[in-house]
Amino acid sequence: MDLFADYTPVQIVAALFAAFGSAFVRGLTGFGMAILIVPVLALALTPVDAVLLTNFLSIFIGLSEIRRLLRDAERSAWAIIGLVAVTTPVGLYLLSVTTPDIARVVIAFIALSAFVAILLPRRDAVEHHSATTGGVGILSGLMTGYAGMPGPPVVPYYVGRDIPRNVAKASMLLIFTCASSAGIASGAAMGMLDWVQAQLAVLLFPAVLLGNWLGNKASGRIEDRTWRICVGMVLGAAALAALWKAFG
Q: Could you tell me the residue ranges of all domains in the chain?
A: 8-247
Q: Is 99 helix (H, G, I), strand (E, B) or coil?
A: coil
Q: What pTM, to 2 d.p., does this model score?
A: 0.80
pLDDT in tens, 215-245: 999 988 888 778 878 777 877 777 776 677 6
Query: What is the pLDDT at residue 123?
Result: 66
pLDDT digits (tens, 9 = 90+) for 84-99: 999 988 988 888 888 8
Tell me how far apart the alpha carbons of residues 59 and 63 are, in angstroms, rounded to a whole number. Answer: 6
For the stretch 148-204, pLDDT in tens is 778 788 888 888 888 888 999 999 999 999 988 988 988 888 888 887 888 888 999
Q: How many Cα atoms occupy the beta-carbon half-sphere of 149 within 13 Å?
A: 33
- Lowest-pLDDT range of 18-22, 66-70, 73-77, 149-153: 149-153
Q: What are φ and ψ of residue 8, in 5° steps? A: -75, 160
As a whole-number percent, the residues of the chain with pLDDT over 90 amount to: 27
Query: In the prediction, which pLDDT does 1 show?
Result: 43
Is residue 106 very low, low, confident or very high in pLDDT (cuts 50, 70, 90)?
A: confident
User: How confident is residue 2, by pLDDT bands cut at 50, 70 and 90?
Assistant: low
Q: How far apart (Å, rounded) are the C-alpha atoms in residues 9 and 45?
A: 13
pLDDT for res 121: 67
Is the sign of the CA dihedral 147, 152, 157, 163 positive or negative?
A: positive
- By CB neighbour count within 10 A (0-12 exposed, 13-18 middle, 19+ buried), where does 64 fall? middle
Output the CA torsion sign for 216, 206, 185, 246. positive
d(CA 156, CA 9): 37
Question: Is it the case that residue 3 has pLDDT exceeding 60?
Answer: no
The pLDDT value recorded for residue 6 is 64
pLDDT at 103 over 80: no
3-state secondary structure at position 177: helix
Beta carbons within 10 angstroms of residue 139's beta carbon: 22
Name the residue with higher pLDDT: 70 or 227. 70
89/8 Cα distance (integer angstroms): 30
